[in-house]
Structure 1
Amino acid sequence: MPVDLAQACEQAIGATRLAMQAGYRRLLIEILAPDLKPEVLARPFLELVQPPALVLFSDAGGAALAQREWGSLPEGIELQSLTSRTQPTPEQSILLVMPAVYSLDQVERVCQAVSGGDPSGLASKGRDPKPVVLLNPQLQDAATVGVGLAGRRLRQRFLSTFETSYYLRSLVEGALFRAYPDPWSVWQQEEPGLYSVLKTFIAQPTGEEVAELFRASKGKDPWWSWRRWLGSL
């Protein structure tokens, strides 16, 4: 488990590079913590996209803020928004920074432009598309903006073309974690800063599976809540 955001970003970069070496070209990175600013989170991940590259934010405001915060960019890296008229080319690596749910159509078009319409997101003999890195997509709240069941299924189908190279979500009782090529793992917090693995999964566990795991763990250890309370003092 990383001790801070800087270490999480370092782990995510290493895991994503391993996934790229394995042939994956659509990579998903999710570091889910409160109050993460897109321009702050995204800056370390520029090293994942080799020039020529395109870094895309959801809107012009986000892109302008990042430009102001970052200053000069490495040569060959262009900063734009998904609402701009800039068209990505198959020669460009792409970093998509926290695209909002209303940007899903634009995100799909970007991926199709880079991959030539091939949805597999994999390199193969004689074909090696440039990578598309999807960083903390905000695509999971479709129901709140009027997207129906069919739309949610299309969203899930699209996201399934990405390999999750890194995932970190803090939970009340622990964390859900994955760094490619390792399996998914549920961690329980024993005390502040100290975690232990409860179980590993081949695929991402559902919320109910995670909740049941924590319930079962507390049932086996009647002193669990007491130790958690002492550790918080």
Structure 2
Amino acid sequence: MNWTPPDSLATAIAQAQQATTHALADGKTRLQIEVVLPDLSPMALAHDYLPLFSELGADLKVFFADAGAAALARREWGNPSYSVRGVNELITPVAASDRAVIIVAPTPVEVTTIEQMCLTAGDRPFILLNPKLQDVAVVGIGYAGRQLRERFLNTLELCYYLRPLAEEIILWRCYPQPWQIWQYSPLGSTCLAEFDQRPSGEAIERALAAQRGRSGEGFVSRLRRFLRALQT
């Protein structure tokens, strides 16, 4: 299968759903999805992504970082058939009857609880939508931060990723494809680089060296601003 990068938010979410389906079919149950676009709220992303699991009904459980966000989602979504709760709202967040667990925009504050929920879920699909957990490993103090990355974060398959690097350039991954850098233009999209694993900021900058030369310093300054956010 050879997909090209999305030309709209609707296409990106459809690709995220397809990537999820392919990853689950390959036996990967701990998944992560990141669609990092300006003004895209986690609730809007979740609302459009969750129909992928509509057949599960009440056997799907969706969590937000706090009870207030969960209550707002229930109200905005018209009290859906599946459970929508805050991460710390239930004594037993993952029940034996749950067939899939999705956590929307978790933060470092909830990381210990989320890790335990993931262990409880076992082989059932456990999916993080636009998480902010990488911050824990970045700011973690020495060995503790590395332990967290090895024990939990590195067990997640980042099956879909979309993030602008500059005005017309994106970093994109759609499972089972590799990581890629694409450039949009009026004539169509062009793949500028490909990586087997998520590239570091330095790897991206090296891959775009030729592009920098053609585009001048304006491109460099814009790109470096985004690269700082990609450091892991």
TM over 0.5, yes or no? yes
Distance between the aligned counterparts of 1:130 and 1:17, measured in 2?
A: 13
Q: Any conservation in 2 of the 1:28–1:162 contact (CA below 8 Å)? A: yes
Moved more, 53-62 or 33-42: 33-42
Instruction: Give the drift of 1:41.
Output: 1.0
- Larger mean Cα displacement after TM superposition, 182-191 or 200-209: 182-191
2:141 counterpart letter in structure 1 = G
Whether 2:37 is the aligned partner of 1:33: answer: yes
Q: Which residue of 2 aligns with 1:107?
A: 114
1:4 partner amino acid = S
Which 4+ stretches in 1 moved above 4 angstroms? Answer: none
More helix per residue: 1 or 2? 2
TM-score (norm 2): 0.81
Residue of structure 2 aligned with 1:148, choices 141, 156, 160: 141
**1:2 matched residue in structure 2:** 6
Amino acid in structure 2 at the alignment position of 1:188: Q
> Which structure 1 segments of 5+ residues have no match?
116-128, 229-233
The CA deviation at 1:59 is 0.4
Deviations 1:182-214 (A, max 9, x none): 1110113446x9431111111111111001111
Query: Per the alignment, in what secondary structure is the counterpart of residue 23 of structure 1?
Result: coil
Query: Within 5 Å, which residues of 2 pair with 1:52-71?
Result: 52-71=59-78
Aligned length: 207
**Paired residue type of 1:162:** L
Give yes or no for contact 1:94–1:132 (8 Å, CA) kept in 2.
yes
Residues in 1 aligned to 2:52 and 2:156: alpha-carbon distance in whole angstroms: 16
Amino acid at match of 2:205: A
Residue in structure 2 matching 1:80, options 75, 85, 98: 85
Equivalent residue for 2:128? 134
Q: CA deviation at 1:45?
A: 2.2
Q: What TM-score do you get using the length of structure 1 for normalisation?
A: 0.81
Deviation, structure 1 residue 9: 0.6
Structure 2: distance between partners of 1:4 and 1:79 = 27
Using the TM superposition, give the Cα deviation of residue 72 of structure 1 relative to its aligned residue in structure 2, in angstroms.
2.7
Distance 1:143 1:94 in 2: 23
Q: Distance in 1 between matches of 2:60 and 2:7?
A: 30
Aligned equivalent of 2:161: 167
- Structure 1 residue 149 displacement after superposition: 2.3
**Contact 2:64 2:86 survives alignment (8 Å):** yes
Q: For 1:196, which of 177, 190, 214 is the aligned residue? A: 190
Shift of 1:218: 3.0
Tell me which residue corresponds to 1:24.
28
Q: Percent identity?
A: 36
1:38, CA displacement in angstroms? 1.8
Residues 151-181 of structure 1, C-alpha deviations (whole Å, 9 max, x = no match): 3213322111111111111111511101111
**Aligned pair in 2 of structure 1 residues 149, 48: CA closer, same or farther (>3 Å)?**
farther
Confirm or deny: 8 A CA contact 2:140 2:146 kept in the other structure. Answer: no
5+ residue gaps, structure 2, are: 220-232
SS at match of 2:118: helix
Q: RMSD of the TM alignment (CA)? A: 2.2
1:185 is the counterpart of 2:180: yes
What does 1:85-104 correspond to in 2, within 5 Å?
85-87=90-92, 88-92=94-98, 93-104=100-111
Post-superposition shift, 1:48?
3.6
Give the deviation of 1:217 after TM superposition: 2.9
- The CA deviation at 1:86 is 4.1
Q: Is the 8 A contact 1:177 1:186 kept in 2?
A: yes
